[in-house]
Amino acid sequence: MTEQGAGVAQRLDTGTVNVVRKRDLRKAVRGTFVGNVMEWYDVGVFGYLIVTLGPVFLPDADQATQVIFMLGTFASTYLFRPLGGLFFGWLGDKIGRKRVLFMTLTLVAVATFLIGLLPGHATLGAGAAALLVALKILQGFSAGGEFTGALTFISESAPDRRRGFYAAFLDSGSYLGFVLGAAIVTAMQIMFGQQAMEDGLWRIPFLIAGPLGLIAVYLRMRVEETPHFAALVAQQQESGRASLRVNPLRVFASNWKPMLLVILLVAAANSAGYAFTSYMPTYLSTVLEHDAIQGNLFSLPLMLLMACLMPFVGLLSDRVGRKPVLTAAAIWIILLSFPAFALIGSDSSVAIVAGLALIGIPVALYMGTLASTYPAMFPTASRNTSLGVSYNISIALFGGTAPLVIDSLVRATGTPSAAAFYLMGMSVIGLIAICFLPETAGKPLSGSEPNVETEREAHEIHTARQATVSA
């Protein structure tokens, strides 16, 4: 037997194959999906209320200053996500995925609800804006463990052959949550007008997070721990260790290469994603001077379509591989960002929608594929920590700050093409990272036994193991 064959035989001759129960998988999908809806519901509400909240919390400033302050407040949420990713990631690797996801979802929902109770500048002066920033920071800290924890959870719970399909529901939930929040804001603006929103109706979308959060927490409490983490705990108990040991410094030392790839991929995908979701409404209304409601109506249907397409993108990546789909997304952004912003800057409604679609489609390709790509790059024992830190460092630097950076570039240069060049540059970086990315479609997660859908698949793998050992 060759040295390579001996290595394969050793790996195949250990452990068991996990047959995923459909009931547990459905619970896992629902439990993680609702959390992402909740997290991005707030992003949608806040992003679409930026122009409204400026006069509420900073009434003495001009509109440009108000917008910059609110975009900066939005960005502050993401600056604290790496700390949340480190803390909740480490905790998830130590005590379990399920418990931590319950904590993060509760904190996100409570912080969003409390924003709706904040006094405005007329009541508390500058203290009102300070409290707003503090609650956004709390959201960022808890969200740092929410999305990456959910990615880990669903990837460890899904069958390997369809991991892309099921993991893509997370980003689909994110965009549906964003659309839900943005749609509620837009409907209220149409029904009551901008002045009524500034006078106090802006609170209602945030307060809705209370009952939404209760529903989400209930569904999340019903999920089972992932089979991979359960197997890790069983191994720890067999070895006689009191608890799982996770040393972040050792994690970073052993996983720095895949962590770097995650940082670069997140920079490429999420700069475009946040530009499309969180900046475009502000760009259309303040830079291009469209009516705020009209700007929302341009983008919301496209976001809904993207959310519905993402599971199919994940399914495509299961069939053809992650790398081909990601490569197509990066090249699309590089070649078509400039024409997209040229169309968005025109006077034609059809051209504006076409320009938005040229940005939205590659975002769907990115997000629908990367959800299953990230967790597969790390071993089970340190997956939560590695992914939580690397993903959120990049989100803080390139994702949540993208609206502020793009707005500053556009205003400084006086041309919309600055936004296009920024997105193009990020996708060039992403394309380089994709070249070094290992293909993981259809394969077991790193260091884990296979997840399969049927007993027949498990029997086939067992038969293959025995044949390999005999050879």
The string of pLDDT tens digits covering residues 88-124 is 999 988 888 888 988 999 999 999 999 999 988 888 8
pLDDT tens, residue by residue, 241-293? 655 677 788 889 999 999 999 999 999 999 999 888 777 777 777 666 666 67
| CB atoms closer than 10 angstroms to residue 324 | 16
| pLDDT on residue 190 | 87
Q: How far apart are CA 64 and CA 218, in angstroms?
A: 42
Return the amino acid letter for 17. Answer: V
Residue 69: in which H helix or E strand, if any?
Answer: helix 63-79
Closest by CA position to 443, among listed 250, 161, 166: 161
Q: How far apart are CA 251 and CA 256, in angstroms?
A: 8
| pLDDT on residue 8 | 30
How large is the average pLDDT for residues 311-328?
97
Phi, psi of 125 (to 5 degrees): 65, -140
Domain positions in the chain? 21-225+247-470
Phi, psi of 20 (to 5 degrees): -75, 125
Q: What is the mean pLDDT of the chain?
A: 86
Say if CB 242 and CB 343 are below 8 A apart: no
pLDDT tens, residue by residue, 404-458? 788 888 888 888 788 899 999 999 999 999 999 999 999 998 878 888 888 888 7
Say if CB 189 and CB 338 are below 8 A apart: no
| pLDDT on residue 15 | 47
pLDDT tens, residue by residue, 359-384? 999 999 999 999 999 999 998 888 98
Architecture of domain 21-225+247-470: Up-down Bundle (1.20)
Predicted confidence (pLDDT) at residue 184 exceeds the cutoff of 50: yes
